[in-house]
Structure 1
Amino acid sequence: MAQHWIATMAGPPEAWSFEEYAVAAPAAGEVTIRVHAAGVNPADAKHVAAARAGLEFPVPIGYEVSGEITAIGPSTRIGSGAAAIGDAVVAFRIHGGYATDITVPAVKVFAKPTTLTHPEAANLLLAGTTAAEMLSVVGATPGETILLHGASGAVGVSVLQQARLRGVRVVGTVSEERFDEVRRFGGVPVRYGAGLIDRVREAAGAPIAAALDAAGTDEAIDTSLQLVADRGRIATIAAFGRASGVGILAIAGSMPASAKFRDEVRGELTALAQNGDIVVPVARTFPLEQAPEAHRFLATGHPGGKIALIP
């Protein structure tokens, strides 16, 4: 029997249940994956933290995995094309990735970049597609300088890499101990805290054309509003309450437009990773059965890279 994590009721990861289950045989348009690593993201826990309309329990946990195909439905191709049993793949925007084995829609499955390990590949697409959408919605163009709040986090690191590929210069807010991480990926680090606006202006040496918020703090929003003239070029993935009040963009994978964009960009991101243009720093791995412990580590706020669960 396979095993997976499910939320049987609303609550924190400590309330989840690790259970045996029968993996469905793949129908046409589906594949079964033996999971080698599952990406750990804040959204995994936030999705089931509180009861809300439309959320029915039990809920399988986990949105992205890396592994190998063990079964293929009739006449089925995956998102990146033809596939065979034994192929290494990644799957994103799935339900139930915290598992030993899982059957998923084939359209959500792509050939795993050979340049990435399974823990790295399992963390490529949620952060990567979010970063790509942030750059897209603010219209970042070559030669511009933009401001990025939360530059050393998972989404921030992907923004830095993708911006560099586009010829976009990034000034990134970060704690001083993470300055080298921002520089590693082509960004200009500045310390957040009192006096941030002046430090950003000095570091930029040019107008700030747009701002991306991956931190969600009032400081991030207030600084962005002061430095960016066009509020339509400020985007947040964390400060939803502030966004509606001040007229800036808020995006999330649960929004239809965001979901469509993120689905469409998956192939581009796996290709960039295959070419070595995007890397995924991993801070730590945990055994699959220690998912709650992994989320406690993630909740410290400074894991220093992505986290993966290993069956």
Structure 2
Amino acid sequence: MGSGTPAGGVEYDGHLPVLREDMRAITYSRYGGPDVLELTDLPTPKVGPDAVLVRVKAASVNPVDWKVRQGYLDPIMDVAFPVVPGWDVAGVVERVGLDTPELEVGDEVFGYVRKDWVQGGTFAEYVSAPVRTLARKPASLSFEEAAAIPLAGLTAYQSIRRAGVTAGQTVLVHAAAGGVGGFAVQIARALGARVVGTASERNHDHLRDLGAEPVTYGDGLVDRVRALAPDGVDVILDYGSDDAVATAPQLLAPGGTIASILDPKARDELGGHHVWVRPSTADLEALGALADAGKLSVDVAQVFDLADAAAAHEASATGHVRGKVVVRV
């Protein structure tokens, strides 16, 4: 391949395209509150053999993002400052690595770009993403909607699969109106399960729209759930309840199981499952297929510009947002 500078500012060195320009990105150089986030210039990321360079169109905020910013994952993951936050992304493939037959330049993709260390995230104009973290974007969704799916959607999908949800079962979803819970309700319904979901009363109509039977959390929860499911529930999915494990023995039918993303006692004391989400192209493809089939809707609560990433983190951290907070790049 000869040298030259084709459209788009990509120069060729005779072998591979090299992006010369810097990019705009949100970074932080120390742990702290949202005030540590700043918009700055960084070199455009290099692309490894099994990765592609994605021109980011949108990214979304998950609670883990601001917890990582506060040092939450420091004991278990290496961190290299300055950190670009964000794991969810939707965008367009700008360049491919040496061994990436799955994708081509120009492909629209979405993904959960979690790597083995914390540094090069998705709150930037470009992100280098291993192909194992990406799938083609659902055609029916905007970039903002697609960016809202990966981490929350994968968490719901993988916990449901781990718990073995099948048609005809009754499933109790804790925090059913949240980012993960809303996806879980829809996925379980798509599998043919009956879904009961806990939420505040202001979100009950929303849960009905998703196909769940709402119950208010708090004191008296066991009696309210038992009124709907006198024989107990087959599966409990815990995405945000302080007492999900404590009340599970009173709510589970014989042979039932619990999966929690919060409390390892679900596994250690109840024989259920403690789930930590992982990137998966196949699982992203399954979520995309549900979206394109009209079985998985996406609730985007707020959209911020990249320069307003601190405000996006603050909005997510309130804990009162229904749906996902998205950053448009």
| TM-score, scaled relative to structure 1 | 0.88
Q: 1:158 to 1:15 in 2, by over 3 A?
A: same
**Following the alignment from structure 1 to structure 2, what is the Cα–Cα distance between the partners of residues 139 and 87?**
33
TM-aligned CA deviation for residue 205 of structure 1: 4.6
Q: Which residue of 2 aligns with 1:195?
A: 220
**Following the alignment from structure 1 to structure 2, what is the Cα–Cα distance between the partners of residues 287 and 163?**
33
**Following the alignment from structure 1 to structure 2, what is the Cα–Cα distance between the partners of residues 292 and 141?**
41
Structure 2 residue corresponding to 1:285, chosen from 300, 303, 319: 303
Residues 113 and 121 of structure 1 are in contact (CA less than 8 Å); yes or no, is this contact kept in structure 2? yes
**Following the alignment from structure 1 to structure 2, what is the Cα–Cα distance between the partners of residues 287 and 231?**
48
Q: Which residue of 2 aligns with 1:133?
A: 158
TM-aligned CA deviation for residue 148 of structure 1: 1.0
Question: Counterparts of 1:103-142 in structure 2 under 5 Å?
Answer: 103-142=128-167
Structure 2 residue corresponding to 1:297, chosen from 307, 311, 315: 315
Q: 1:231 to 1:300 in 2, by over 3 A?
A: farther
Question: Counterparts of 1:164-243 in structure 2 under 5 Å?
Answer: 164-218=189-243, 220-229=244-253, 233-240=257-264
**Following the alignment from structure 1 to structure 2, what is the Cα–Cα distance between the partners of residues 212 and 131?**
9
Q: 1:75 to 1:210 in 2, by over 3 A?
A: closer
Q: Which moved more, 1:177-186 or 1:97-106?
A: 97-106
**Following the alignment from structure 1 to structure 2, what is the Cα–Cα distance between the partners of residues 15 and 240?**
31
Q: Which moved more, 1:41-50 or 1:138-147?
A: 41-50
Q: Whose strand fraction is larger, Structure 1's or Structure 2's?
A: 2
**Following the alignment from structure 1 to structure 2, what is the Cα–Cα distance between the partners of residues 162 and 276?**
11
Task: Tell me which structure has the larger Cα radius of gyration.
Answer: 2
Q: Which residue of 2 aligns with 1:89?
A: 109
Structure 1 residue corresponding to 2:44, chosen from 15, 23, 28: 23
Give, as a single letter, the amino acid of the residue that structure 2 aligns with 1:203: L
TM-aligned CA deviation for residue 11 of structure 1: 2.5
**Following the alignment from structure 2 to structure 1, what is the Cα–Cα distance between the partners of residues 254 and 230?**
19
TM-aligned CA deviation for residue 188 of structure 1: 0.4
Q: 1:111 to 1:263 in 2, by over 3 A?
A: closer
Give, as a single letter, the amino acid of the residue that structure 1 aligns with 2:327: L
Task: Report Cα offsets for 1:5-36 as digits up to 9, x if no partner.
Answer: 23322333322343211113434332221111
Give, as a single letter, the amino acid of the residue that structure 1 aligns with 2:285: G
Q: Whose helix fraction is larger, Structure 1's or Structure 2's?
A: 1
Q: Does 1:55 align with 2:73?
A: no
TM-aligned CA deviation for residue 206 of structure 1: 4.2
TM-aligned CA deviation for residue 296 of structure 1: 1.1
Q: Which residue of 2 aligns with 1:256?
A: none
Q: Which residue of 2 aligns with 1:71?
A: 95
The alignment partner of 2:80 has SS state of coil
TM-aligned CA deviation for residue 245 of structure 1: 5.3
Q: 1:134 to 1:74 in 2, by over 3 A?
A: closer
Task: Report Cα offsets for 1:27-58 as digits up to 9, x if no partner.
Answer: 43322211111011111122242242543231
The alignment partner of 1:56 has SS state of strand
Q: 1:272 to 1:188 in 2, by over 3 A?
A: same
**Following the alignment from structure 2 to structure 1, what is the Cα–Cα distance between the partners of residues 69 and 282?**
26
**Following the alignment from structure 2 to structure 1, what is the Cα–Cα distance between the partners of residues 311 and 209?**
29
Which runs of 5 or more residues in structure 1 are unaligned? 254-258
Residues 51 and 128 of structure 2 are in contact (CA less than 8 Å); yes or no, is this contact kept in structure 1? yes
| TM-score, scaled relative to structure 2 | 0.84
Q: Which residue of 1 aligns with 2:13?
A: none
